[in-house]
Amino acid sequence: EDPIIDSKNFELETSFRVTELTAKSICHETGLVFIGTKDVLLFKFSIAGCVGDLMLYLNGDSIDGSKHDLSAFAINPKDWTSLRVQNSNNQLTIFLEDQAIFEHTLQDDIGKIGGAQLSFEGLGEIAELRIKDQANELNLFTLEPYL
């Protein structure tokens, strides 16, 4: 209700996997969206053969997988995936398994971050979901501060 995480300088860490894939899904996409008070950030991950269909939305910038190489966003959905998203003065970096896979300079911040959402084509499991800025660190499962 009253967001406290500064989107200009934040870090989110999570681990996720798909436990049951849907028969209708070919690409097995997993999405992550950050909801800010001014805009959103949206990332998607899929199997290797579908990265050309991916689209990233980064606070006014759309990055289309058919025009940009998003092959680093390929994951095996049934395996645990460790993801870290870091923004430092609007310089956004995405890490998979502690490897930087993508960098982008944001036009502006998205305001205070009011939440983050993971979506799965199928049933997914999340091991952790925490976010921090220079002053606060939250467990997004419980909305409690980390001690």
State pLDDT tens for residues 72-102.
999 999 999 999 999 999 999 999 999 999 9
User: What integer pLDDT is reported at residue 146 of this predicted model?
Assistant: 54
pTM (global) more than 0.75: yes
| CA distances in angstroms from 68 to 19, 35, 103, listed in the order given | 29, 24, 13
CA atoms within 13 A on the CB side of 57: 12
145 pLDDT higher than 90: no
Give the pLDDT confidence of 10-32 residue by residue, as tens digits.
999 999 999 998 878 899 999 99
Tell me, rounded to whole angstroms, the distance of Cα 105 from its chain centroid.
Answer: 16
% of the chain residues with pLDDT over 90: 77
